[in-house]
Structure 1
Amino acid sequence: MFTAHTLETAPSASRAAMERTAAAFGQVPDAVARLAESPELLNGFLEMTAAFDRTTLDPIAREVVIMTVATRNDCHVCVALHAGKLRKLGASTELVAALREERALSDERLEAVRRFTLTVLATAGGVDDAALKEFFAHGYTERNALEVVMGIGTYTMSTLANRLTRAV
């Protein structure tokens, strides 16, 4: 139903983002090709992703947020892509498997990020003081809590769009 655009068929406002993505991945991923139908969504998602990558959360903690959103929203393409990214970051196969299976993580600090992400989602941001204190007890800050919200927003947009467009 949704077009998987090429550089030639994509709206002109999506082409630069597609070219940058192709340079980074060696090709235009199907998800990007389909999201290209909306230059605003594609460019907005890529800008938000870059901003999330600049947060003070460490790279593996950011991937825990992403994988938690992706598994919760049943976005198979996101799970596969970010499982690969976790492996490139040196994450253990056990960590990747636990995230894929929505199980508790053996690393307490990363598990705190996973639980906090789920709590933010379940409460639509209405996180109670006990959950905040638990997150902070693992060395996270108010800034980190807001960065988790940013990751949730960024990757909720991506997972919903990928599912809507049937990206593979």
Structure 2
Amino acid sequence: MTDVRPVEALRALAHPMRMRILGSLRLDGPATSAILARRLTTDSGQTSHHLRMLHKHGFVDEAPELGRGVRGRERWWKAAQPTTTLPGQGDELMTALNRAAHAVWSDLAETFHAQDWPAPWQEAAGFGDQAIRTTPEGLAALRAEVRRVIDEHDLGPDAPGAETVVLAVQAYPYRTAE
């Protein structure tokens, strides 16, 4: 994200539709604004606008190698990075970003529950929480280890019987309200 202040980039990302677009490009692959509009049940004008904002701040790149269509007007887009990891800052912008991320994750969970998945997938999927006591350094090490374990369990796109699974990992200190 060169020539852009991180705050501006975060502000651009702190919109549920932009997060959904970025997620779709990562999970479903490169697309045009029209393809994204169909995937996300919106219109291509909206997706075009949001793609330009994401591109301006380095979250998506054009994918000219995928072609320009018969009239030379198609613009293909792809995610610029495989993941987005942000520090858990407590300012107003991070609060907006967290709200947008939670809305997208909630949509993913609702979509899973609305679909007819086989019993093994229903039993394996889910969420949970666990409280631990650690230091900032310990939490950073834990997050790095979780990323390593996730990478270890990624079977790749051609693994038989494998499906794409979205993991939302959150880790925040907690204090009891007094």
Instruction: Tell me if both proteins adopt one fold, taking TM over 0.5 as the criterion.
Output: no
Q: Which has the higher helix share?
A: 1
- Give TM-score scaled by structure 1 length: 0.31
Of structures 1 and 2, the one scoring higher in RCO (CA 8 A, sep 6+) is: 1
- Give TM-score scaled by structure 2 length: 0.30
Which has the greater radius of gyration?
Answer: 2
